Amino acid sequence: MRLHHLEVTGFGPFADRVRIDFDALSDAGLFLLSGPTGAGKSSVLDAVCFALYGDVPGDRATAKRLRSDHAGDDVTPRVVLEATLSGRRFRIDRSPAWTRPKKRGTGTTTEQARVVISERRPTADGTDQWHPLSTRLDETGHMVTRLVGMTLPQFCQVALLPQGRFQAFLRARSEERHVLLQQVFQTERFDRVERWLRDRRVELRRSAEAHQAAVADLVSRVSEVGAVPAPPDWAQEPAVLTAWVEELAATTSDAAAVQAVRVEEAASVEGSAADASSAGAELAARQATHAAAERSAAALAAEHDAHVARTHRAAAAQRALGVRPLHQVAVTARDTAEEAEQQVSRSRAELAALVDEDDLDDHRVAEHLRTAIATLTDLARVRPLQRQADDLDDELRALAVARDRTRSTLQQLAARAQELPTALADLAPRLESATAARARSTELGAGRATLESRISAATTAERLEVELAAAEQAWREATETRLGAREALVEIRERRLDGMAAEIALKLAVGACCPVCGSAEHPAPAVPAPGAPDEAAERDARRTVDDLEAVVEAHAQQVRGLAAQRAAALAEAGQSLADLRAAHEALTAELADAAREAAAADSLAARCSALTDELASLSHERDSLTTVATRQDTDAAVLASRIETLREQVAAALPDGAAHDDIGDLEALTARLQSVEARATRCLDAAAHLVRARSDAEKAEAAALAAAVEAGFATADEAADAWLPATELTALQRRLEQHDREVARVAEQLADADLRRAADTAPPDLDRLTLDLRRARESVAAGRALESSLLERHRRLVGLGADVAAALAAWLPVRDDLDRVADLAGMVEGKHPDNRLQMRLSAYVLAHRLGQVVDAANLRLSSMSDQRYSLVHTGQRGAGERRGGLSLLVRDDWTGDSRDPATLSGGETFVVSLALALGLADVITDEAGGADLDTLFVDEGFGSLDADTLEDVMDTLDTLRDGGRVVGVVSHVPELQTRIPTQLRVHRGRHGSRTSLHTR
């Protein structure tokens, strides 16, 4: 990796754009990055790290504050780095996330971090151009890590030897040194192995405990079912559980067989007790039946008189059945006569209220009926005359409205005749302007068509530019592919030439002369190397190159054709697409205005013609309306005369005082007379109905009395009182029949011989018989329950035995796995007795890496310390440390003693720390596959050295320049400014820092 150019804007202390040319600094091989404290020397290194990895090293990364406080609110923080990575030239343009003021309104908004990585590649015309590769943060990060060959922590330890970091590393405890080495060498995978084993141990322990708990639960259930304790040592010897469960199952099966015999014996005793209890219950039932019959006979004798009374009541109700219908008819007839009498009273009252007369009799009612009929006849004759008069009145009112409307229209026509000449004078200039706009829009339309043709040409040119770029990219890719094929062909030819002796040897025949030496003897013919190419392989490679030549030429022709088309399109366009579109937009707007104005020409002409026609027709319309008004006046006078004649005829036909203003008055009078007619008719009808109802009531009462006397009753009302509803009569008859059946049943039971013998026998002891039967049944039930319990216990023990076997089969392998994993986890954690070093796996790996670092550091420390000091890696634990393997000591070869690094002076500490840092850089470089680091920085610490030691350190730094490497020393020590001629100085200012390049 070699740095070329760095550009920083709004980053760290740099408010304005700062450009650093590392190529100019690289000419000297060693340069000094100097400046006062806080000026921004380390910020230059931060900018390099940020450009490559999107982050800064050390504690500054946690602040997340990369934008310069000196920069303006609208200045975008940005870092641009050009560097050669893995032999390829790249440009990385990065900006961190930052907060800027909103463009609209108040407040701020967050701009997200962005990146653009580009590669410098040759083009078809022989020049180099930047080609973007990616704009994604993650993709760029992976690409840079792969190209540099190391991560950000590794890069900071190798290329940017940080200030004070390795002094702390030198004096750190083993745990702190473990963290740094793990970060640099990326040994997290060994930590993951430790965690996996630890988690696996926990997982297996939980699984084993769960399986053991399941077995313990089953053992507890077996112990509960079998009512015996479990073997005390089953957890250590799980195999005893199977035999224990099988023994319990066999014992339970034998006990169930013995209990079955006992149940059969108890069942025989139960049968005898059941027979005795049944016989006693039957005798007691017969005795109870005979006693109940005697009690029923006594009750029937006591109820004899009531039974006779019920019999007489039923007979009377039966006789009243024939009288009941006639009695109901008589009652209904009396009610009808009373209702008819009330109807006569109501009808006369209604008529009296209508005619305003009291005490109406049938004679006055008939007289009112005749008067109403005669008057209605007269009204029917004059009603058409009144309706005709009303219609003529409506016609007269309509004619008056029409006369008013005609006069109003005449006034409007007169006003309109005065407005039309003025309107025609106003329209004339507008019509002339619209006619001129129509001619102008035609000219503008032709100009727009020409402009659209040029816009189409400019659009085609832009499209061809995109296609040309794609074609050039395809040409470059084909060129690179062809170059690779040519290199492969050259390699195949070289390998074939290297193995040509073996190829010739394959063609030798026995006795034939060698085409090289001419000898017929071939004692040791060459043997081809494995995978050596032959003539066919070279021919295939040559064919591939030829095919790719054709592809490259085809792409080149496409590029030339697209370039020619684009040039022609640009010539036709004449201007840029933006200018053409702006001109088109302006012309379109002008054309739209002209078109809108021209569109009004036809309407204006039509309007003028319409106004002229309207003015001509106004005079004719006024003459016509004047004639109509005269005719309307004449018609109104005729209608008024006819209406007056008709009203006089109607008044002559009506009674005195009757209103006759319109047909409504006649209709009201007609309605009143019709009501009088209807009510008088109802009065006469109600009187006739009353006479008929009284006659019917007298006949019905006579028929009911005759039927009652014939049935044995004195009056019809007496027969009605004796009558019973059908349901009550039926119930009474059923009760009489039930009494007769009960008398017969009791007599039959008292005559039964078996019941009489049972009554003469002593009562049985049912309580004793029932107690004996219950005890026998309880004995059988208890025996059967015990037998069922034993069988169920045996079944459960057999099932639990299978469950125990399955649980053991699941538990034992897990327990064995737990033992193995626990031993292995203890070993990698440094806790197992066999781990004599008591070191974790990750610490062991890091101890090996630290040993490599110490060996590499001692190669430089010997020369820098005048052959006095060397680092010693020891596996011993320091005071208060739990693990060993990462401890460091400094050996003083002048005294032969080893001591703690904390005892070194400031200058000695810097020298040893620098050697340690350089050693770590060498190891990491080897770890990264020998990645080339052509630019290296050493940050601070030189102020603590004496002149001789500083000279030795500078000599060591000079050795780092071997192979073209550039070393930058970051320091503000004045002595270094005189020793190193090429300097990049950082100047601190109130408004931000700046840089300058100085050489001597």
In a domain, 902, yes or no: no
- Res 117: pLDDT: 94
199-203, 811-815, 931-935, 965-969: range with lowest mean pLDDT: 931-935
Is pLDDT of 509 > 60? no
Q: Of the residues 560, 584, 619, which one is the last residue of a structural domain?
A: 619
What is the mean pLDDT of the segment spanning 313-318? 80
In a domain, 888, yes or no: no
Report the candidate in 144, 97, 156 with the shortest Cα–Cα distance to residue 119.
144
Instruction: Specify the 3-state DSSP secondary structure of 93.
Output: strand
Is pLDDT of 883 > 50? yes
Q: What range does the domain containing 111 cover?
A: 1-149+941-946+971-1000
User: pLDDT category, 874, cuts 50, 70, 90?
Assistant: confident
User: What is 621-690 written as a DSSP string?
Assistant: HHHHHHHHHHHHHHHHHHHHHHHHHHHHHHHHHSPTT---SSHHHHHHHHHHHHHHHHHHHHHHHHHHHH
Residues of the chain above pLDDT 70, percent: 88
Q: 119-137: per-residue pLDDT in tens?
A: 999 888 878 899 999 999 9
Question: Residues 50, 56: contact at Cβ < 8 Å?
Answer: yes
Question: Alpha helices, DSSP H only, in 752-896?
Answer: 753-760, 766-828, 841-864
Is pLDDT of 245 > 60? yes
- Res 963: pLDDT: 55
- Res 51: pLDDT: 94
In a domain, 668, yes or no: no
Q: Of the residues 584, 602, 619, which one is the last residue of a structural domain?
A: 619
Question: Residues 8, 952: contact at Cβ < 8 Å?
Answer: no
Q: Which long-range contacts (CB under 8 A, 24 or more apart) does 758-763 make?
A: 758/283, 758/286, 758/287, 758/290, 759/286, 759/287, 759/290, 759/291, 761/283, 761/287, 763/283, 763/284, 763/287
262-271, 493-502, 805-814, 960-969: range with lowest mean pLDDT: 960-969
In a domain, 381, yes or no: no
- Res 930: pLDDT: 45
Distances in Å between the Cα of 249 and the Cα atoms of 223, 226, 235, 610 are: 12, 8, 21, 123
Instruction: Specify the 3-state DSSP secondary structure of 416.
Output: helix
- Res 205: pLDDT: 86
3-state helix, strand, coil in the chain (%, to 5): 70, 10, 20
In a domain, 730, yes or no: no
What is the mean pLDDT of the segment spanning 469-487? 88
> C-alpha dihedral over 36, 39, 40, 42, to 10 degrees?
30
Q: Of the residues 619, 634, 657, which one is the last residue of a structural domain?
A: 619
Q: 766-803: per-residue pLDDT in tens?
A: 788 788 878 888 887 888 787 788 788 778 878 877 88
Query: In three state form, how does the secondary structure of 915-950 look?
Result: HHHHHHHHHHHHHCCCCCCCEEEEECCHHHCCHHHH
Report the candidate in 156, 130, 135 with the shortest Cα–Cα distance to residue 50.
156
Q: 405-444: per-residue pLDDT in tens?
A: 888 887 777 777 777 777 777 777 777 777 777 777 777 7
User: What is 420-487 written as a DSSP string?
Assistant: HHHHHHHHHHHHHHHHHHHHHHHHHHHHHHHHHHHHHHHHHHHHHHHHHHHHHHHHHHHHHHHHHHHH
The amino acid present at 339, given as its one-letter code, is E
In a domain, 806, yes or no: no
Q: What's 478's domain CATH number?
A: 1.10.287
Q: Which pair of tokens denotes residue 313?
A: 């009541």
388 vs 819 pLDDT, higher one? 819
In a domain, 799, yes or no: no
- Res 19: pLDDT: 94
Residues of the chain above pLDDT 90, percent: 6
Q: What's 63's domain CATH number?
A: 3.40.50.300
Q: Which of 111-115, 446-450, 548-552, 908-912 has the highest mean pLDDT?
A: 111-115
In a domain, 1000, yes or no: yes
Give me the number of domains the chain comprises.
2
483 vs 919 pLDDT, higher one? 483
